[in-house]
Structure 1
Amino acid sequence: MIGTMPGVPDLERLAARTWRGLEEERHGDWLLRAGGGFSGRANSALVVGDPPSDLPTAVAAVTRWYAARGARPMAQVPSPGSEAADDAFAAAGWARGEDVLVLTASLGSWPEPSVPVELAPTPDEAWLRGYRYRGTPLPPVASAVLANADDPVFAAVRTAPGSAPTAAVARGVVVDGWLVVTAVTVDDAWRRRGLATAVMAALGSWARDRGGHSCLLQVSGDNAGALALYERLGFTEHHRYHYRLGPAPARSPT
């Protein structure tokens, strides 16, 4: 990797530029994001740095911001560095979610892809069907969230030439020399054929052509298969984050 490894706050802010909410607002150093309910990162408060008030007041402000949008309040809490804020969310009764690992690797030694990988600036319908977010089809708002970055690229391995269904997909964005990879999905019928490695390699080559030197991705701590793949590609853990979930918004009487 080039230069000094960024700390947790800087790396989280960098990643947030590649996967944005459709609405964003600063609350001190915190970043409030809403994206129609699609994905935790686009619908949570990124808790790095300091809010403009004491922590209990800040937690209440975050709660109100999401309640005004009819959404359940959510906070993305990285560690190390945000332990005091995490304690404040816990004290307010916010439930804790699972750990997500933030992994980093150098792009310098990745191989060329072993199968043809298409790269496109926008996802077609086959790509959208191929991306299974947490194992489920995408909601309509997903397309807007996926496109809401500076020059994203969408990688696909097709089951046949043309606009055939995808066997594997992934998304990449380069920011400040960092390739941030998301949406890596391999169809169940095409697993164990090296396709995840192929889309990662294609994105790595694309990023190196644009001055990329390092890669970042996020993966659930219980995803053993993905962790094994990324370890083979040279990824190591930089830090972790988890979500805090506030109370569900009150429903209006019908």
Structure 2
Amino acid sequence: MTVDYYAVAEATWRSASSQTLGGFVVRNGAGGGKRVSAATLDAPLEHTEIAVAQAEMIAIQQSPLFMIRDGENDLDIALGAFGYTVIDPVTIYVSDVESLTESLPRLTCFSMFPPLAIMTEIWADAGIGPERIAVMERVTAPKTTLLGRANNHAAGVAFVGIHEKTAMLHALEVKQSLRRQGVALNIMRAAANWAQDHGAERLSIIVTQANKGGNALYTSLGMKPVGHYHYRILAPKRA
């Protein structure tokens, strides 16, 4: 089965709104970060339409930002010529759920939605504020948040949503003082357990290539890369 992981990301991490302008989908992320704010190509590339999408992003007070997905080399070159610079290359990883499921000790990880106040505090300490919590709230697909514990303390958090039998995990964060104690691993296992219980067959995650620890964890779990993308952003003075 061919899975559109970009569609999974779209369904499980929602922008505030979007519109199609010419050949681009322009998103209003409402401050929720790059993934929900980036414009994407939706038709054969017409260079003149880049300026149309750019103007709309400026009009809604967003920095002009485009996502370049696998195979969109012409768009990548065109944006470079317009003065856009590359930022945040990422890898999409996936594994079948069954290979990641595992029984966890009691009180290791909890699933719930909406998240508890302590969870939003952990996210806030990692720079994930109310605007990104709002992204989670906008998701209409099956979803949950996960709270991982270590040494009898709330230690880590993540959000998971499901689209067409593929779960995607977002916003995995572990408190600095409680890292290297297996919290992220337990959250991944708990995500797989929850996903399987809710009919998903695959668990996926998107991670920046600069996140060495994250990439090491996901590959150690046997997750395989299935896609890539990066952004191009226009410096404020060029905008």
Task: State the TM-score, normalized to the length of structure 1.
Answer: 0.85
Contact 2:147 2:158 in 1 (8 A): yes
Which residue in the other structure is 1:13 paired with? Answer: 7
Alignment match, 1:169: 157
Task: Spell out structure 1 runs of 4+ moving beyond 3 A.
Answer: 27-30, 158-161
Superposed CA deviations along residues 190-240 of structure 1, whole A, max 9, x for unmatched, are 111111111111111111111111111111112121111111211111121
1:60-79 aligned at under 5 Å gives the runs 60-79=51-70
In the superposition, relative to structure 1, how do residues 206 and 70 fare at CA in structure 2: closer, same or farther (>3 Å)?
same
Q: Does 2:118 correspond to 1:126?
A: yes
Deviation of 1:119 after TM superposition, in Å, equals: 0.9
Q: Does 1:58 align with 2:46?
A: no
Identify which of 106, 131, 153 aligns with 1:141. Answer: 131
Q: 2:112 & 2:237 partners in 1: Cα distance?
A: 39
Secondary structure of 1:58's counterpart equals: helix
Matched, 1:231 2:219: yes
Number of equivalences:
236
**What amino acid is the match of 1:137?**
G
Change in Cα spacing, 1:184 to 1:136, as seen in structure 2 (3 Å) is closer
2:193 maps to 205
Q: 1:37 offset after TM fit, Å?
A: 2.3
Deviations 1:155-192 (A, max 9, x none): 0024687xxx6301111001100010011111111111
- Which residue among 29, 39, 47 is the counterpart of 1:45? 39
Deviation at 1:94, TM superposition (A): 0.9
Map of 2:28 onto structure 1 = 34
What CA distance in whole angstroms lies between the structure 2 residues aligned with 1:98 and 1:169?
22
Q: 1:75 to 1:211 in 2, by over 3 A?
A: same
Residue 43 of structure 2 aligns with an amino acid whose one-letter code is: D
Match of 1:22 among 16, 19, 39: 16
Identify if the C-alpha distance between structure 1 residues 20 and 249 changes in structure 2 by more than 3 Å, giving closer, same or farther: farther
1:33 CA displacement? 1.3
1:16 maps to a residue whose letter is E
Identity %: 23
Q: Supply the distance in 2 between the matched residues of 1:84 and 1:178 (Cα, whole angstroms).
A: 29
2:174 is equivalent to residue 186 of structure 1: yes
* Runs of 5+ unmatched residues, structure 1: none
CA distance in 2, matches of 1:175, 1:67: 31
Q: Is the 8 A contact 1:55 1:88 kept in 2?
A: no
SS at match of 2:88: coil
- Is the contact between residue 8 and residue 162 of structure 2 (CA under 8 Å) also seen in structure 1? no
Map Cα deviations across residues 56-94 of structure 1 (whole Å, 9 max, x no partner).
122111101101111111111112x11111111111111
Which letter maps to 1:50?
A
User: Which of 93, 98, 109 is the equivalent residue of 2:88?
Assistant: 98
Q: Aligned-residue CA RMSD in angstroms?
A: 2.2
CA distance in 1, matches of 2:128, 2:67: 21
Per-residue CA deviation, residues 2-21 of structure 1 (Å, 9 max, x unaligned), is xx233xxx221221111111
**C-alpha contact 2:95 2:224 (8 A) present in aligned 1:** yes
Scaled by the length of structure 2, what TM-score is found?
0.90
1:247 CA drift (Å):
4.1
Counting strand residues as a fraction of each chain, which structure ranks higher?
A: 2
Distance 1:116 1:159 in 2: 7
Q: Secondary structure at the match of 2:14?
A: coil
